[in-house]
């Protein structure tokens, strides 16, 4: 996998050969983004399978469950992580032998890898219809190729619009504290020759008030059955400001990001370490001993959403009613 902590300064790759290695890469955000960690976690389970010395299916299941528990404990908010793990685990039951189960698991993760890119292309085609030539789109964090296996969700929509000959500019909030916007989204868009401009997170309201944003398109880590959108911290304030200024707000997410089993109150928001907030480039910028909160995600209620872009089509208002019709 690409080491996303090193971008854009250097393009380094990390090779994971054990589920522990994958779990560590997810936890430390070497790999991040909901669809990417879903497929990576599934590959972690596949590594547990290929590395297992189990002689019976029961022994193999025990090895896989141990790896799955470790991988599940890495990050709590993106539902794709749990979806990916459960999907590969479900392949064991139908197998009639240990080698058969291993083959099925490996085949399944390869399918997931291919499907992810196809899904994003479908989603991009749905979303590209919403963009007009000359639009400036505000995003948040990185919901691009790096956050998926390829092509991206929110950035997939922008890529698809470009492929159709539309000229679209992107406003990229830096996305403190891990800077996925200024490091990763800017890197991707520049590489693809898509017009973009980094702004401080604190400039979002000003840009909207000056009419400099036509649409907001963001990714999602989980969309619950009651229509709440969990995404990178800072997304909710974009949604509130978009509503204030009459700017359409579109989350873009594949089927694997929907959690139809839960409502918003049942989801854990990840709290990350305080060092991400008080340290900048290895240097402490806040007084020692000051308390810090570092929630990694926030929650946008359905009434602030204009529509949700998915690979199965557009989920329009009322989104709570439309989700089961489009998604299940």
Q: Dig out the tokens for 321 from the structure.
A: 């009613």
Nearer to ligand MRU, 143 or 247 (CB): 143
What beta strand segments (E) does the chain contain?
A: 136-138, 169-173, 196-199, 215-218, 222-224, 229-232, 249-251, 258-259, 279-280, 283-284, 297-300, 307-310, 313-316
Task: Find the residue with minimal CB distance to ligand MRU.
Answer: 219
CB of 151 to ligand MRU, least distance (A): 10
Nearer to ligand MRU, 143 or 299 (CB): 143
CB of 32 to ligand MRU, least distance (A): 3
Nearer to ligand MRU, 76 or 302 (CB): 76
CB of 16 to ligand MRU, least distance (A): 17
CB of 313 to ligand MRU, least distance (A): 18
221 is a catalytic site residue: yes
Say if CB 150 and CB 179 are below 8 A apart.
no
> What does the chain come to in residues?
328
* Whole-angstrom distance, CA of residue 115 vs CA of residue 113: 6
Angle between helices 154-163 and 98-128 (to 10 degrees): 60
Q: Dig out the tokens for 251 from the structure.
A: 């989350």
Q: Half-sphere exposure of 90 toward its Cβ, with a 13 Å CA cutoff?
A: 8
Nearer to ligand MRU, 33 or 227 (CB): 33
Non-local CB neighbours of 284 within 8 Å, separated by 6+ positions: 278
Q: Which of 201, 221, 298, 311 is catalytic?
A: 221
In the complex, the residues that contact ligand MRU under the rule CB under 6 A are 32-35, 78, 141, 143, 147-148, 153, 180, 219-221, 231-232, 296
Catalytic center residues: 221
């Amino acid at each position: 996998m690409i080491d996303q902590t090193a971008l854009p300064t250097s393009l380094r790759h990390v090779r994971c050969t054990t589920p522990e290695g994958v779990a560590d890469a997810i936890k430390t955000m070497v790999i991040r983004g909901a669809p990417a960690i879903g497929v990576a976690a599934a590959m972690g389970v596949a590594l547990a399978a290929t590395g297992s010395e189990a002689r019976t299916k029961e022994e193999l299941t025990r090895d896989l469950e141990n790896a799955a528990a470790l991988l599940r404990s890495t990050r709590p908010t993106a539902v794709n992580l749990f979806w990916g793990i459960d999907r590969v685990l479900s392949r064991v039951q139908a197998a009639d032998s240990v080698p058969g189960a291993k083959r099925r698991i490996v085949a399944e993760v390869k399918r997931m890898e291919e499907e992810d890119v196809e899904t994003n292309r479908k989603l991009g085609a749905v979303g590209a219809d919403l963009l007009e030539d000359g639009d400036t789109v505000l995003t948040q964090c990185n919901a691009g190729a790096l956050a998926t296996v390829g092509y991206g969700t929110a950035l997939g929509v922008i890529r698809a619009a470009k492929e159709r000959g539309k000229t679209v500019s992107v406003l990229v909030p830096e996305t403190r504290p891990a800077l996925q916007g200024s490091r990763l989204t800017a890197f991707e868009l520049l590489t693809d020759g898509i017009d973009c401009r980094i702004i401080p997170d604190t400039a979002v309201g000003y840009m909207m008030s000056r009419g400099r944003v036509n649409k907001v398109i963001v990714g999602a880590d989980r969309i619950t059955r009651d229509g709440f959108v969990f995404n990178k911290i800072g997304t909710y304030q974009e949604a509130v400001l978009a509503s204030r200024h009459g700017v359409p707000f579109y989350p873009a997410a594949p089927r694997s990001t929907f959690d139809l089993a839960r409502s918003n109150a049942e989801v854990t928001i990840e709290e990350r370490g305080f060092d991400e907030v008080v340290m900048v480039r290895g240097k402490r910028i806040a007084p020692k001993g000051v308390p810090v909160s570092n929630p990694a995600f926030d929650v946008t209620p359905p009434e602030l959403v204009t529509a949700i872009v998915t690979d199965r089509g557009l989920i329009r208002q009322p989104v709570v009613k439309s989700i089961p019709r489009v998604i299940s």
